[in-house]
Structure 1
Amino acid sequence: MGAIPAKALFLALVFTSCASAAAQAQTTGLEDLVGARGGQAEGELQRRGYGFIRNEKSDDRSYTYWWSDERRQCVTIATMDGRYASIQPTLPPDCRKPGNLRPNPNYAQRPATRPGADYPVDPGYGRPGYDDGPMVDGRNVELGLVCFGDGSKDGVASGTTWTWNRDRKRYEYGTYTASKTEVFDASLMIQTWAGGGRIRLPRALVPPIHSGGQDGWWDLYDLFVSPDAIRATYRLNGLNKPKVTIDRRSGRVTVQGLSDYGFRGTCDTIGHQQRKF
């Protein structure tokens, strides 16, 4: 078989890239439900093929995670004042699914239609001035981030095994305990304002012995914000004070504490801006 012409190879790569991008750009089919009353719209979510997975609570809003088997899509729904404030696609691990799943490229994109007056949207919802964004202790949040990636921490492994007893010249059955590094999929949230900020940690990054933290949020200290980077620390306990570093050009975030405690991922900004954030 002859070599593939360079032009044909180039076109094949372009087609593959575009197909991948199209799959990632797949809509959730729930866009029209933003602004609907949360309790009333749950039946509509199920009608469209989404099943409830779990929920989380923050200071001013709650987050629910829904999964569509047909679409292979996880979504996060933020509810505030009883209405859906936002519906965003997110990664499968947030819905407790394998991280290697991708949206179904063969899913037929059917237009979403609201079934009449059962799910009324507030006419003013989403208009300028309707919601000025979250506030923390009277301070407007200037930057809100949701970050997805991989976390790691020290852990302990235990089990049973056979060991050689040198004195008795025989194998003996017993238990063992050893240290290990646990790696897991996780997501975290970051909010900053003039002179301060906070970070919301996944439970897996909160050790049994810790200090501080309120409703899952930890205050950020030594916050440094420039056009290209954000750096800060938070106090996990007396010894461990992890450092947070964010590249504002790429959206990459790293959290590094003592030993194997850490997180690496990519952040999405809340809102619409020209640059990453």
Structure 2
Amino acid sequence: MMLLAQAAALLLACDGVGEVPTTDTANVTGFQNGEFRTGRVTVHSSTTKDLRVMVEILGDTGRIRLPEELVPYMRSRSDEGWRPLNDLRLTREQMEGSFVLGLGNRPHVVIDRLTGELRIRGTSLLTGTTSFDGVCRPVEAPTEPLF
């Protein structure tokens, strides 16, 4: 695999579908041992949602910004939502790296440079699954205020 020495500054907007954790809580009443008992039940699951992920590559470093819906409650610090891409490898065909999202969760990122397809996968016992599939396109970073 040939690594590129340096890539030009690149900002990508990646639109796709992410797996978003959800929590539902309900009160339940049941009959047990001749008595009515009441309790609460909490169910953790996930749903899919249309989202946008941003990726920025500057030379041989990069960073990623996930939408809030994909960021777990227990998470690592970030710079206004941007997280550094670690172990970044840039080849002619793909960009690949990982980032720290939370305790034990280092999602893996792969972007196919020929198709624009982005895939993010990560998992942690504490924060659950991080999953996103999308298509990236380059965007111009604003240099002047829009208004």
Distance 1:238 1:174 in 2: 31
3-state DSSP of counterpart to 1:257: strand
Letter in 2 for 1:267: C
Alignment of 1:194-209 (within 5 A): 194-209=59-74
TM score, norm. by length of structure 2: 0.78
1:186 CA displacement: 1.0
Aligned-residue offset at 1:205: 1.4
CA deviation after TM superposition for structure 1 residue 169, in Å = 6.8
* Structure 2: 5+ residue stretches without partners: 1-6, 141-147
Residue 254 of structure 1, CA deviation: 0.9
- Structure 2 CA distance for aligned equivalents of residues 166 and 208 of structure 1: 36
Query: Are positions 1:240 and 2:105 aligned together?
Result: yes
Higher helix share goes to which structure? Answer: 1
Alignment of 1:263 with 2:128, yes or no, is: no
Larger radius of gyration, structure 1 or 2? 1
Q: Which runs of 5+ in 1 are unaligned?
A: 1-139, 272-277
Q: Counterpart amino acid of 2:43?
A: A
* Structural mapping, 1:84-163, within 5 Å: 142-163=9-30
Higher relative contact order structure (alpha carbons within 8 Å, sequence separation ≥ 6): 2
Query: Under a length normalisation based on structure 1, what TM-score does the superposition of the two structures give?
Result: 0.43
Cα RMSD (Å): 2.1
Q: How many residues align?
A: 130
Residue in structure 2 matching 1:252, options 98, 107, 117: 117
Secondary structure of the 2:13 match is strand
**What amino acid does structure 1 have at the position aligned with 2:11?**
G
Percent identity of equivalent pairs: 28
